[in-house]
Structure 1
Amino acid sequence: MIKTLALGISVLALSVSAPAFAATYDLGLLTNGTPTAKAAATAPGAVNDIIKFELGGTTDLGTYLNQFNGSLFGKSYNITGLSATFYSGGGTLIGAVGDTVSATFANLAAGNYYATVTGNAVGTGGGSYTLTLLGSGSAAPVPGPAGVLVVGAGLAALLGRRRRKKAVEAA
């Protein structure tokens, strides 16, 4: 009985003191203009989370990373060195943000992306963070001189047709 109790206490102690494991979250397709946030809590230890997402078209991606740093129910929550690094689906580095820092990554092509969130949860209860993503579609390209010529030719043809119609009516 004492051996069983000692074993149970040992397992409990190991589970409480074990480092945090990496978690993977999939946010799916982001909707431009709608903030998408992922909040995560972690046990004390290393934070190594992966957050996947998809962009449907050329997008300017706004990002904001922050953490809950305080006490709740007698436990402290804090993550030191919190950062998020963004990559394309192929692993190309896009950029990074630190704790309570925002950044915008412009003109990202449609496709799959992911962010790695890292840090060290040092609170007695671990740590908690939120990564918020906000996409906005890039502006449509402005027509160049060729586009202006096509519109001008169309207007000239329309005016010429109108004049002919008036000339026929007058005759």
Structure 2
Amino acid sequence: MRRPVARTLLLAGVAAVLIAAAGASGAQGAEQLTCAGTQTNTYTPGLRLLQPRAVTAGVDIALGPCLSATDPTVTSGSVSGIFPASLSCTALLGQSFPTQLTSTFTWSNGHTSTFTYRADTEYVAGTLVVTSVGSIVAGEFTGASATTIAVTTALPTACLTSAGLTEQQGPYTLVFAGV
């Protein structure tokens, strides 16, 4: 019973940070888009607790419901990707991605938005919080500042099994602001 309450409080705090960040970074305009969703991370082969190994990492993000102040036809969206990595369960903690990353969201209206960003991870109260901050550089919402936050269990018990951690899932929040 305590875990759902703690997770709810954590998510409420994350939402407050997102709203504040969107307000600060979107000083030129109001929020254009907010979405709630789920992020699923997959690892093949599974991650071990301490020893990094070469894996194929996959990310699938399903967004919805979405609320757009500028385009009511955007009600949901998605983004996915696969990339090689050298990871362990503990390597997920405290990661910072100094290089610029790019993802393309596909929206329910058939349009896309290309998001260029930097991502940082942080271990907070038993969860892994990945915060990505950047801007929309192409497609719908071009010029908007963007912030996303994904929250997953940081060290699931699967890290201790012979198969390792093969999947993580958790809530995902997105805010586009400005222009």
Give the alignment's TM-score, normalised by structure 1.
0.29
Give the alignment's TM-score, normalised by structure 2.
0.28
Q: Which has the larger radius of gyration?
A: 1
Quick check: which one's helix share is greater?
Answer: 1
Quick check: which one's strand share is greater?
Answer: 2
